[in-house]
Amino acid sequence: MSARYQFTGATAATISASIESGIRTGALAPDAVLPSVRALAADLAVSPATVARAYQELRQRGVLTTAGRHGTRVRPRPPVAARRSALRPAPLPGARDLSRGEPDPRLLPPIGPHLAALAADAGPPVGYSQAGVLPELAEVARARLRADGVPAEDLTLTGGALDGIERLLGAHLRPGDAVAVEDPGWANLLDLVAALGLRPIGVPVDDEGPLTAGVAAALSAGARALVVTSRAQNPTGAAVSAARAKELRALLAGRRDLLLIEDDHAAELARVPLHPLAGTTASWAFVRSVSKPFGPDLRLAVLAGDETTVARVTGRTRVGAGWVSTVLQRLVLALWRDPAVDDLVGRAAQSYELRRTGLVAALAEHGLTAHGRSGINVWLPVPDETSVVTALRDAGWVVAPGALYRIAAPPAVRVTVSSLAVEDLTPLAAALARATRPDLPSGFAT
């Protein structure tokens, strides 16, 4: 791929601009291997130090990654938008796409009736001076968080969970700082950490959440922030158990040098209780998005935290995007208050649980140990991701290669169960079993 791309530039800035341009046009695909520093320097008749500076700058912005002997590559999802024509091709016609990690649109509560009610009662336009978190929304959000044991005196809103996490990391850390993240963990978070120029330290995960010893090791290695997914961990489905929460709270108690971020994105969809860590450290934030239960297009998350942390996020938002639209806030409030919506979300949660546990059980019949305690994904350790993904594609199923989610964790594939029907489980498990050798590793924690 990269061999055909005509790199240009005589300075670090123009060389990195040429690489970015290659990514935008699709000439440099995600994962494309770049020439070695020496080879490109010779091609462009510049010094190796110039090329090294260009690579370094793009690494700090999360565009490139260096994997030891494997050289420098384009990140799988670099923070540079490719042209539409360069985006990944749609799966073959008839193939079932289980790679997306999206909720089933048929199980999202319909927003039409609430939008109509809002339209009928729109009131006067809201201007800059009245904007902010609506007090009535804050009150309901507080009650919902407190019911789950999360202290919610101070809270604000962000445009989704990842926006909240970006603002938190931006407010507390500087490029080069280390962040402890789950390994395997959410690909978008790994991409964000890279794009912010932060250093990820992987913390191994089992079904009960991040391993306490892994968190302790990350702290010893200098992590300035720790991101924990409370439930429906992506990709493994892990949920922090009562016992793990107790251990982690003891480990983190009173720490003043660590920003603790909890991502409770499954929220009302989670069928397991929340065991929060919130309030354990001096700097903490608990982020709960509405994406999964109510719809990813409702870009809103509630962010509770200590007073300073919340004030930093609110203040930084004010000098940037400003606030989360009160139109969206009113829509979310209406959804929260509607018992029929509660019912639908409960039914969606139950339906995801059936498909997830059904697939894990069907795989167990083939002697395969898969993971999926909560959420919409099943994580299946495999000996070789590429061959499994390819064999499944040939059998008409698209699954996500684990490489997108891993730092040092062993290989696996992620199967999103949200669009599966119960009748799909047996043929899918059989296809996964055929694609996977029988001598599997039994877990994903290292």
Ligand X SMILES: Cc1ncc(COP(=O)(O)O)c(C=O)c1O
Least distance CB 87 / ligand X (angstroms): 19
Does the footprint of ligand X cover residue 405 (CB under 6 A)?
Answer: no
**Residue 295: left (phi > 0), alpha (psi -120 to 50), or beta?**
left
In the region spanning residues 156 to 215, those forming contacts with ligand X, defined by CB under 6 A, are 160-162, 186
Residue 74 region, left (φ>0) first, then alpha (ψ -120 to 50), else beta?
beta
**DSSP states of 155-210:** EEEESSHHHHHHHHHHHH--TT-EEEEEES--HHHHHHHHHTT-EEEEEEEETTEE
Decide if residue 240 touches ligand X (CB under 6 A): no
Spatial distance between the Cα atoms of 378 and 359, rounded to a whole number of angstroms: 8
Site for ligand X in 275-304 (CB under 6 A): 289, 291, 296, 301
Residue 21: both structure tokens together: 């341009």
Q: Which uninterrupted H or E stretch holds 143?
A: helix 135-147
Q: Which of residues 299-328 bind ligand X (CB under 6 A)?
A: 301
Residue bearing tokens 């806030």: 329
Nearer Cβ to ligand X (44/191): 191
| Binding flag, residue 239, ligand X (CB under 6 A) | no
Site string for ligand X, 100-119 (x = CB under 6 A): -x------------------
Residue 314 Cβ, how far from ligand X at the closest point, in Å?
18
Q: Minimum distance from CB of 226 to ligand X (Å)? A: 14
Interaction between residue 382 and ligand X (CB under 6 A): no
Is 349 strand, coil or helix? helix
Query: Applying CB under 6 A, which of residues 191, 206, 263, 424 lies at the interface with ligand X?
Result: 263
**By C-alpha distance, which of 224, 349, 210, 341 is closest to 275?**
210
Nearer of residues 177 and 264 to ligand X, judged by Cβ: 264
Place of tokens 């609430």: 114
Which two structure tokens, joined as six digits, stand for 231? 């439930």
Size of the site for ligand X (CB under 6 A): 13
Q: Which C-beta is closer to ligand X: that of 73 or that of 288?
A: 288
CB nearer ligand X, residue 54 or residue 239: 239
The residues of the shown chain that bind ligand X, judged by CB under 6 A, are 101, 160-162, 186, 229, 234, 263, 265, 289, 291, 296, 301
